Structure 1
Amino acid sequence: MKSAVETLNPTRVRLTVEVPFEELKDSLDAAYKKINQQITVKGFRKGKVPARVIDQRFGRGAVLEEAVNDALPKFYTEAVTEAEVDPLGQPEVDITELKDGETLNFTAEVDIRPSIEIPDFSGIEVEVDTVEVTDEDVEKSVEQLRERFASTSPVERAAEEGDVVTLDLEAKVDGEVLEDGVASGVSYTVGSGELLDGIDDAVKGVEAGGEVTFTSELKGGSAAGKEAEVTVKVTQVAARELPELDDDFAQLASEFDTLDELKADSRKRLADMKQYDQATQAQERVLDKLLELVEVPVPEKLLDDEVNTRKHNLEHHQLGQMGLDLEKYLEIQGKTAEEFETETREAAVKGIKTQFVLDALVKQEEYNVSQEELTEHLMRRAASSNMSPDQFAQAIVEQGQVPLLVGEVARGKALAAVVEKATVKDTNGEIVDLDDEEEETEAAEAAAEPTDTAEQKTDATAEDEAGTKAADKAEDKAEEKTEG
């Protein structure tokens, strides 16, 4: 087999491959054997039909088509290896010549991972937020905990902000009561804004037994997005009572004996959270600086696929769970469709560039991933997916995604190494020491998490499917030869 590679642009090549016909012998034998198992010819036992009879009855073209489809992935893989390119996704294969008994020539165009040179990044400097926990922060945290332990008691007065009311609701659209628009005994905190637009203003000032009607756009159900006439009957008004902030509350709400101990723990937890946020901020800003230093061409098809993947995940997974469609989501965000498209594309470009650059750094520095590092990363991913480690690990193995996890960890190590050499200062001008190794690693892996599409494209199954792509063209060529 002979092959040559032509660079079409920094992210795409054309492979030209010439295969002597004798190298198709194994695939031709396999083709005859496969066809033999699928046909019945009078006078011959099943599976024992001679090749010449198959050629006469079913045409040499059918055999050539089967043989070429079987052989193409192998020859394509050999050409890729010989050219020393890193393909992304499936190739576009074109059979340029097929002469029975003489030669098979084909071309394969495929996107490739671009060659990237990593410059000296030791001079990167970034600024991050200062870790500072104020007394106000602590008081707010304790107050939120206090809210969770609030009790309620019925009162004989009109509903006010913060009260918990019990409601019966009925929604009508175009004068008709909706089947799923009736509910009774609904508990609702006035002012929370969690039920229907306009309901807070409607129930304020209404006593138990009172009824009020207002219009609102429904957020979910069979008439989501439509204007409805909603009738609300208040069956009970209850005032919320907060516990006293004292040592008894500390013992009720925590493992601490005193309120001072509870506040000290809250301060520490808030500081830990802000330090993690600071580490994440450092990773992201260092990554942005690194990307500015490197010229990274992005394959257009890969970019289109990544944009479509992001939009699909948003529309069919995230928004679907919230009972929203894209139009309503954009309205809430105050964005136009054009702004959304631009932002999605920019995020996709950054995701792909991030993976390319960090993968190049992993290769350059020869970073390896230990079993312990992989296990720790798996545990974190399982927690973020609300799955047990065993469930998550089983799903990863079944879907063949272990290499994806290895790639995530390696990229995280690469980014952590870049951050370690960077100068990170807070807004007070103080040098920030990101010395919490576990926290730094976790933040780096999160910042370096790859794009789904780019990762899937590089996990090349393309070689195995190259033959299928060429099936029709191989058949055409084969028919030309047998008819001739």
Structure 2
Amino acid sequence: MKSTLEPQEGNKVKLSIAVDEAEFEADIDAAFKRIAREVRLPGFRPGKAPRKVLEARIGLEAARGEAFEQAVPKYYLEAVEEHDVDVIAQPEFDITAGQEGGDVAFDAVVEIRPEITVGGYDSLRVTIPSPDVDPSEIDDRIDRLRESFAELESVERPAQTGDNVTIDIAGSREGEAIDGLTADDYLYEVGSATIVPELDEKLVGAKVDDVVEFTADHPLPDEDPVDFKVVVKAIKEKVLPEADDAFAAEASEFETIDELRADLETRFGMVKKVQASMAVQQKTAEALADLVTDEVPEALVSQEMQQRLEDLAMRLQAQGVGIEQYLAQTGQDQEAFVGELRESAAQGVKVDLALRAVAVAEGLEVSDDELEDEYAAVAERVGQKTAQVRKQLERNGQVSAVRSDLRTRKALEWLTEHVELVDEGGNTIDRDSLVVAPEPSEDDGPEAEAPEATTEDE
């Protein structure tokens, strides 16, 4: 087999493939063997009829057609591998010679992954959540803890947001009470908006024994409006304990409020560092996609959509939920869901193409050792030996794809190491501030040295 590669318009290439008659004869012979397994001839068991007998009975033309159907895709894939063509769609075949006899020749026109350039990738600036803990954030967390220890005390004043009121509430439509919207001595927090927003509006400023009446939309969609009658029977305000040592001792394992604050700051600080670190890659990818001005191929977008849909279906299946149930539970219609899926898929394609461009621009390559490490990682995930995984990938012609994925991964790592990081206020973030210090183990004595901190990218 011989093949040549020729660029075409529209991000396509043409592979011209020629197979001499002697080589194609083996494909014709294989076609006769396949036909023999399906044709029943007197005196021969299935699959045992000689080629000469079959050729005399059905003719050479049928076997040659069968050979073309099976051999053309095979020779095409060999040419793709020979020229290292990164195809992204199904080819269009055109048989140019050999349909009736002699040497075989055909063309295959196929769309390939475009190679793009992205300007400005080396000076990206991304905004991520600050990894630093603001004292007000600790105050808020302590206040939420105080809320859980709050006591309710009756007050003589009108109700305010945050108060707890005891009410009789009656929801009705045309005089008929509605189940779930009628209750006596119901304790309700003003401002919680857990029934209808109008209830909170009417309760603010209300006094004990006041009766408020109003009409509001039903809490459930597609239901008719509801008439409400509410009687205010008691008003109580929350009294929070003082944020002092006594509170700390009651609400935690710490004896002082300073110790409690220090622990909250440490734990919340770890969470913020992790959140900020996770945002680096996501925000970097988003910023990189914004640099792509080329139109992305529809074939790649469709493939990405299909992959994301399959991933979602598998996750939902593990929970015993189907796509239709998921859409119903999330309140999405199919058209909006497909639109969002297409948008996110197109974004993903842009990121992938841009990362490939960065890898080329920065000369990032994947060594054989790194490839072997990837085989080992895959083998561990699927519970096979590394040699088995390597052999299977080589047999399926997927080694180039694995190497390419590793290159894009390295490109993203390179970018996350070089982008400028700022917080919401535009302040520069030092990468060292994203490092989460390891907790000392129980075996570490007081003289044990803390291990040297490293970033995730090292």
- Shorter chain as denominator, the TM-score bin is 0.5 to 0.7
- Confirm or deny: 8 A CA contact 2:288 2:351 kept in the other structure: no
- Name the counterpart of 2:350: 350
- Name the counterpart of 2:64: 64
- Name the counterpart of 1:74: 74
Separation (CA, whole Å) in 1 of partners of 2:39 and 2:153:
82
- Match for 1:324 among 310, 322, 331? 331
- Name the counterpart of 1:105: 105
Is 1:227 the counterpart of 2:212 in the alignment? Answer: no
- Name the counterpart of 1:481: none
- Name the counterpart of 1:416: 413
Pairwise mapping of residues 140-151 of structure 1 onto structure 2 (< 5 A)? 140-147=140-147
- Confirm or deny: 8 A CA contact 2:91 2:109 kept in the other structure: yes
- Confirm or deny: 8 A CA contact 1:424 1:431 kept in the other structure: yes
- Name the counterpart of 2:54: 54
- Name the counterpart of 2:258: 260
Change (3 A) 1:126 1:373: farther
Separation (CA, whole Å) in 2 of partners of 1:13 and 1:316:
38
Is 1:85 the counterpart of 2:82 in the alignment? Answer: no
- Give the superposition deviation at 1:80: 1.2
- Confirm or deny: 8 A CA contact 1:374 1:409 kept in the other structure: no
Q: In structure 2, the residue corresponding to 1:88 is in which secondary structure?
A: coil
| Aligned residues: CA RMSD | 5.9
Separation (CA, whole Å) in 2 of partners of 1:269 and 1:243:
24
Q: In structure 2, the residue corresponding to 1:16 is in which secondary structure?
A: strand
Pairwise mapping of residues 334-373 of structure 1 onto structure 2 (< 5 A)? 347-348=347-348, 350-357=350-357, 360=360, 364-366=364-366, 368=370, 371=373
Is 1:137 the counterpart of 2:137 in the alignment? Answer: yes
- Confirm or deny: 8 A CA contact 2:20 2:103 kept in the other structure: yes
Greater RCO (CA < 8 Å, at least 6 residues apart)? 1
Separation (CA, whole Å) in 2 of partners of 1:53 and 1:187:
93
Change (3 A) 1:202 1:343: farther
Amino acid at match of 1:83: H
Q: In structure 2, the residue corresponding to 1:357 is in which secondary structure?
A: helix
- Name the counterpart of 2:15: 15
- Name the counterpart of 1:45: 45
Structure 2: give runs of 5+ residues left out of the alignment.
314-321, 387-391, 438-453
Q: Map Cα deviations across residues 4-61 of structure 1 (whole Å, 9 max, x no partner).
A: 2221247321212122233233433333223322332333222222334434555545
- Name the counterpart of 1:2: 2
- Give the superposition deviation at 1:240: 9.0
- Name the counterpart of 1:114: 114
Separation (CA, whole Å) in 1 of partners of 2:35 and 2:24:
16
- Give the superposition deviation at 1:351: 3.0
- Give the superposition deviation at 1:192: 3.8
- Confirm or deny: 8 A CA contact 1:170 1:231 kept in the other structure: yes
Separation (CA, whole Å) in 2 of partners of 1:194 and 1:146:
22
Q: Map Cα deviations across residues 311-369 of structure 1 (whole Å, 9 max, x no partner).
A: 99699489627431248979xxxxxx99x799657635533434433554797332636
Larger Rg: 2
Amino acid at match of 2:224: A
Change (3 A) 1:353 1:328: closer
Change (3 A) 1:43 1:95: same
- Give the superposition deviation at 1:75: 0.8
- Give the superposition deviation at 1:248: 5.7
Q: Map Cα deviations across residues 162-202 of structure 1 (whole Å, 9 max, x no partner).
A: 54999999999x99999xx9799999866444666767568
Change (3 A) 1:154 1:184: farther
- Confirm or deny: 8 A CA contact 2:202 2:212 kept in the other structure: no
Separation (CA, whole Å) in 2 of partners of 1:89 and 1:22:
31
Separation (CA, whole Å) in 1 of partners of 2:55 and 2:4:
34
Change (3 A) 1:324 1:287: closer
Is 1:433 the counterpart of 2:440 in the alignment? Answer: no
Q: Map Cα deviations across residues 107-154 of structure 1 (whole Å, 9 max, x no partner).
A: 222222334578896665667665543222111122334456678999
Separation (CA, whole Å) in 2 of partners of 1:408 and 1:255:
48
Amino acid at match of 1:104: V
Q: Map Cα deviations across residues 186-230 of structure 1 (whole Å, 9 max, x no partner).
A: 99866444666767568987999x9989553665xxxxx523345
Amino acid at match of 1:216: D
Greater per-residue helix proportion: 1
- Confirm or deny: 8 A CA contact 1:165 1:187 kept in the other structure: yes
- Confirm or deny: 8 A CA contact 1:291 1:357 kept in the other structure: no
Change (3 A) 1:34 1:327: closer
- Confirm or deny: 8 A CA contact 1:132 1:271 kept in the other structure: yes
Separation (CA, whole Å) in 2 of partners of 1:74 and 1:197:
67
Separation (CA, whole Å) in 1 of partners of 2:191 and 2:347:
36
- Confirm or deny: 8 A CA contact 1:138 1:263 kept in the other structure: yes
Q: Across the two proteins, how many residue pairs are aligned to each other?
A: 409
Change (3 A) 1:431 1:218: closer
- Give the superposition deviation at 1:374: 8.5
Separation (CA, whole Å) in 2 of partners of 1:430 and 1:294:
25
Amino acid at match of 2:36: N
Structure 1: give runs of 5+ residues left out of the alignment.
220-224, 331-336, 379-389, 446-484
Separation (CA, whole Å) in 2 of partners of 1:273 and 1:321:
33
